[in-house]
Copies of this chain bind each other. A is one copy, B any other.
Amino acid sequence: MTAPTSVPADPHSPAANPRRRVGRPAAAVLDQNGITAAALQLIGKSGYDGFTMAALARTLNVAPSALYNHVSSKQDVLVLVQDHLTSFVDVSAFETGPWEQAVRDWAWSYRDVFSKHTPLIPVIAVLPVTDAPKTLAMYEAVSAGFSRAGFPQERIIPAIVALESFIFGSAYDVTAPADIFDSGSMAASTPHFTAAVERLAEDSQEKAADVAFSLGLEALLAGLGTLRVA
């Protein structure tokens, strides 16, 4: 019923092939889906440093300026990529499983997706949901899960935002160098910190970022879980 794109129904439209818009020159080498796919592929191969409008155009065999017929800025492309990536975040457990495990699954997959795309985090964190339909769909699935789990309505959004903030910050943490906490020549003047860092390195097969994420997530689950009333 509700079409995802807000194109008003055209009474004159023939039973059109949706790939081709009526009454228009066809061909159309470029569209938003193709641009999004190419951008994702380019980012995967060259990283965000190599992700330029010129490089994107080259992978599409097109002049850079051609992109601007379908997208209004580079920021626009990043929004498209962000929204596409969000569809890889796993919300399936909110429909079936218990709340706590659903949040766990969601949070880990959310972090894993965006830890490989940290340059998008400033984009997501400030992006109106209207501009990102797949992201909105994720929020709906998560909200429904929280509602079903007995959260009071007015706490649902703050709880999700708090979890999301933790997830975004933790995504950065995944990309930090292993020796980020090596205090080097300053070790003598920071005894408590240095001792704690050494203790951490001794145990923990696990990666440091995973330990911290698990610890924080379980603490949040416990703390937020007490809000449930049903």
Copies of this chain in the oligomer: 2
- Select which of B172, B192, B197, B219 is within 8 A of A224 by beta carbon: B219
Contact of A126 among B172, B188, B195 (CB under 8 A): B172
A54 at the interface (CB under 8 A from B): no
Contact of A167 among B126, B169, B191, B193 (CB under 8 A): B169
Residue of A122, A144, A158, A176 contacting most chain B CB atoms (<10 Å):
A158
B212 touches A162 (CB 8 A): yes
Q: Is the CB of A216 within 8 A of B139?
A: no
Contact of A223 among B169, B182, B196, B219 (CB under 8 A): B219
- For A, the interface residue count at a CB cutoff of 8 angstroms equals 80
* A69 sits at the interface (CB 8 A): no
Verify if A165 is at the interface (C-beta below 8 Å from B): yes
The yes or no answer to A118 lying at the interface (CB within 8 A) is yes
| Contacting pair A195 B153 (CB below 8 A) | yes
Q: Which one of A10-18, A32-40, A201-209 is at the B interface?
A: A201-209
Q: Which residues of B contact A66 (CB under 8 A)?
A: none
Verify B154–A202 contact, CB threshold 8 A: yes
List residues of chain B with CB within 8 A of the CB of A179: 128
Q: Which residue of B lies closest to A119 (CB)?
A: B122
Q: Are A215 and B125 in contact (CB under 8 A)?
A: no
Q: Could you tell me if B161 and A129 are in contact, using CB atoms closer than 8 angstroms?
A: no
Nearest 9 CB-CB pairings of A with B: A219-B223, A162-B216, A165-B169, A125-B172, A161-B212, A169-B169, A168-B169, A153-B199, A140-B190
Residues of A at under 8 Å CB distance from B? 2, 6, 118-119, 121-122, 125-130, 133, 136-137, 139-140, 143-144, 146-147, 153-159, 161-170, 172-173, 175-177, 179-186, 188-193, 195-197, 199-200, 202-204, 208-209, 211-213, 215-216, 218-224, 226
